[in-house]
Structure 1
């Protein structure tokens, strides 16, 4: 009760009480969710247009999978709507209350918000591939062996519980309003929907150099050895160029989509949870507590050194 009163006081004193009420799912949609609602008819229209172009190629389009992808996206939206306001927003409000700078919304701060969100997205996305706890939620997005617009909707309903939204908290602490952060993030995701396609080949060179494009994102979804864990950018690809994770799509090496370990089943629950099950199974193997917990932040392919397991009388995993 005291904690709730303290949080309400923080929200009220920081001028965010109205914003808190706006994002409370039982009261209203927030601006970020509203953008997704407005964009959804466009997503469906573009997906139908693409379907008419590729429907005869089963390697590119499977109607049942496309419907499943939209169902996965709906599950993601429902949990975001129900829980973002009570899990993520209090921490954003707290950071914004203790912000370092007083920033007014101008063209300059708006552009800085966009750049900041895109920069944070890069590191969030990179962590989602290189830290297994985050990968457990993100893997569903990569588990399809097809690349089309419906693949963009292939999201995990557990995302809100994994805490990857915490990567954007420093922006609120600096002084960027959480509303701006949410809007910039939503617009970035809308942009990223349109790079999930095989129909767009190469764009003009300056665009390919600066922006994340269908060509770059096809590489990101490839399971070819040279393509795995590359091209993490959201709207911009320059972060990958700066931090050494960029790989160009090679004409003689077309991406093979999917993940290296096939999904055991195609039901929604299995798609959402299979990596969590494998993660907790590996953590449950005997060994020192610190070594067992290391599975959470180690890369998905990491296994404990054989010596750790042999010391417990166990065989190393194959």
Structure 2
């Protein structure tokens, strides 16, 4: 996991040179929640959030694409933070760093063959290495081995990417997540999808967040219900149907279909600013449903409004 680009530097402002407190947001999905909270970050003044508060999205790395289970995401986050604390890193971190550097070079990104996917490359690497979770012992040697393997799969040559080995070695020790336990707040934002997020997993995630002093924010049944709370019409919808969230069609479930009646919504692209204008209404509407983290395991509701209030009160 890594910080979303453009928010990776801890900045200092004002004459007192005060360090900004960071609120790290780890999402179950990358797009829907990310669009919403990135817009909140852009509109902090309008919402009434202290400008000294930074809101930073944590996004999945290349080896984590497709992950959605909250337990798996939390466990990886804990591994990443442990790597940072110990000053050691895994093959997974090394692979992600190499791919990141290659993919962010637009000159090469556009030339990459569409016939080979990053997923295939990562699977090939897994077949060559006992476990991506193993700790790298010889950084330069392992980096060169993986680099040559990835470059060949992308139909590139080492000559086409001069100094890439040096670049990877130089950047590998840069923190993917600049979280400071003493200053910052880590927030895990997930859906209570009973099919993929089992009760024992819910209990585990809740207990681990408490142990690590992380904050857990849950919407039952899904994030779209929080978005639906931005409209008073939410109170007119059958609560049992909202909680069950059955398929309304082959493409969407009930909550999303109801949201689309009041707002032009697409999971990957929507105008979150229109919703943020109603955020105070969403906070008030949320109070009429379940907000308790223990009871959210089974009841319709959300506690994301509590997160927004906490950001405003700091």
TM-score range, shorter chain: under 0.3
TM-score using structure 2 length = 0.26
Q: Which has the higher helix share?
A: 1
| More strand, by proportion | 2
